[in-house]
Structure 1
Amino acid sequence: MTVLDAPGAQLYFEVHGQGPLMVMIPGAGGTADSFRMVAEHLAADYTIVLYDRRGFSRSRLDGPQDYSHRLNTDADDVRRLIEHVGGGPATVFGASSGAIVALALQTRHPEVVHALVPFEPPAVLQLPDGDRWVEFFHQVYDLYQHAGIGPAMQWFRAQTFPHSDQQVMGAVPRNEANAIYWFEHELRQYPAVQLDLNSLSLHAERILLAVGREGRGYPAHDVSVVLARKFGRNTVELPGGHVGAVSHPAAFAQELTTALAEEGLTATDRPNTHAPHRRLL
């Protein structure tokens, strides 16, 4: 098991493939496993770094945590991984709340980012009815406290994702500890983030706003559309919905790679001389 020591945590990570560096930031599940299938296809063109975000599964907490600045800590962890593995700056792909982490990374550490792909970040305050969505997430949390994970998760998914996503999510075995950690420290907090749009717009040319084709009309999809408009960028549609990397891994990887190339965001291959371990998928 490959682990990076970070302040307050032991970060589990994996390195696969060869080529320019791409770091993939998971969303609510918090683990490298959510990208395992799509990484099999991306590893032909990129050195892929998968990891568990701190507090999830194999990335154990080690000491006190500052939960009032958890998003910043998440972003700093990605910067540490890029610097530790070497070969950066990196293409950074983040899905769902991982996309919010990716945007925070771009704001805090733009020097480690070659290209940024925030895939459907649920930063709902960008929406005209954003306050209503923030209140909804608080209501989901209240349901979790009174009725448990199952009913709360079912209601959350039914309101925020298309039916195709709900089927995929429902088929994934639930990790109780990860679900609790997400409910307590992320469900209400990350969607309510105030993005630093001025800072992000300074690097808009390196940001590729990506959405799932099946997600139109749902909040995370629509946030990407709003951000693209604010940054003067186009959105790129990828196969599936919010979890298209799971439901359509081969097509998702191919179209993501093509979109990066078409936008001029494909990095030249840099020798990765500092990678502690490389495993081909």
Structure 2
Amino acid sequence: MTTMSLAVPGARLHYEVRGTGPLVLLTGAPMDARAFEPLAGLLARDHTVLTTDPRGINRSPVDDPGRDSTPAGRADDLARLLTHLDAGPAVALGSSGGAVSVLALAQLRPDLVHTVIAHEPPLEDLLPDRDQLAAATEDMIATYLAGDVAGAWRQFLKIANIELPPGAVEQIFLADRSPQAVADEHFQFAHMLRHTARWRPDLDRLRSVPTRIVVGIGAESAGQLCDRAARALADALGVAPTMFPGDHVGFVAQPAAFEQCLRVLLEAHCRA
């Protein structure tokens, strides 16, 4: 693995490159490159795999920590990374907020990505209860900024329709209160989450670009917000959703099974 950084307007992006072969980009938001390490290692057997920390998160510092991170801005960052590597066009798989980023990338620079896989994008604005979701999201952000971190995470899970056992909030979200973890968390709630959830894709643009758009859903995510949003996106684009193993973070919990599903998509493109 090679670790480098790239200066972009207003930030310096940490990125990692593994393997050789056709280029695959794996990205999240707010998840950083660490979440994709197991999957990236498997794909790197015969692919060049690019992972990155999104601006404002972990090893990708921003010049102005008070400036919001938008899908369009993150798409521009990804476009600059892909152009810098000059190894495309690429497959771009984004999960959660990263799925929103790669959809925005397909709109911005379809020449850089021949396939975009949007895995569980939290596109609240595509859903019929968008107004209630927007209000709940604003209340959650306000709860966090008022200092009730545990309460904000519980609201996050409620909005996402994710049920966890008692004590899981403290174990998953509050165990690491290191300065970097707290800074990343604050940036997510204060400057990333709202713009990601409220972003509305240009559906006409996505239907017209040469990039193949794949909408991914975790097999164990039924009824969750991202399951509903992904299905709404697939329906609007006129494509059938692709089921992946696991839930919202199946690539973390089941990287080998997730890789097998992803390789089916990669091989289908090679035969096309």
| Alignment TM-score > 0.5, same fold | yes
1:114 match: secondary structure: strand
2:251 equivalent in structure 1: 245
Q: State the Cα distance separating 1:213 from its structure 2 match.
A: 0.5
The one of the two structures with greater contact order (alpha-carbon pairs below 8 A, sep at least 6) is 1
1:212–1:241 Cα contact (<8 Å) kept: yes
1:52 equivalent in structure 2: 53
For the residues of structure 2 that align with 1:227 and 1:25, how far apart are their CA atoms? 19
Q: State the Cα distance separating 1:117 from its structure 2 match.
A: 0.2
Gaps of 5+ in 2: none
1:161–1:215 Cα contact (<8 Å) kept: no
Q: Does 2:5 align with 1:3? A: yes
For the residues of structure 2 that align with 1:156 and 1:66, how far apart are their CA atoms? 22
Q: State the Cα distance separating 1:86 from its structure 2 match.
A: 1.9
For the residues of structure 2 that align with 1:96 and 1:230, how far apart are their CA atoms? 18
**CA offsets, 1:169-209, max 9 Å, x none?**
95475411100000011222211112111101113760111
Instruction: Tell me which stretches of 4 or more aligned residues in structure 1 moved more than 6 Å.
Output: none
1:190 match: secondary structure: helix
Partner AA of 2:120 in structure 1: E
Q: Does 2:236 align with 1:234? A: no
Gaps of 5+ in 1: 269-281
Partner AA of 2:45 in structure 1: A
2:25–2:93 Cα contact (<8 Å) kept: yes
Q: Does 2:114 align with 1:114? A: yes
Q: State the Cα distance separating 1:260 from its structure 2 match.
A: 3.4
2:114–2:211 Cα contact (<8 Å) kept: no
Q: State the Cα distance separating 1:28 from its structure 2 match.
A: 2.2
Q: State the Cα distance separating 1:163 from its structure 2 match.
A: 3.8
Q: State the Cα distance separating 1:267 from its structure 2 match.
A: 8.8
1:177 equivalent in structure 2: 183
**CA offsets, 1:123-169, max 9 Å, x none?**
11111112211111111112112243222113312441534799699
**CA offsets, 1:15-36, max 9 Å, x none?**
012221011111223x101111
1:165–1:242 Cα contact (<8 Å) kept: no
1:133 equivalent in structure 2: 133
- RMSD over equivalenced CA pairs, Å: 2.5
- TM normalised by structure 1 equals 0.86
* Structure 1 pair 12–205 and aligned structure 2 pair: CA distance change class (3 A): closer
1:91-102 matches, within 5 Å, as 91-102=91-102
Partner AA of 1:74 in structure 2: R
| Overall identity of the aligned pairs, in % | 32
Partner AA of 1:24 in structure 2: L
- TM normalised by structure 2 equals 0.89
1:178 match: secondary structure: helix
Q: Does 2:35 align with 1:34? A: yes
Count of residues in correspondence between the two structures? 264
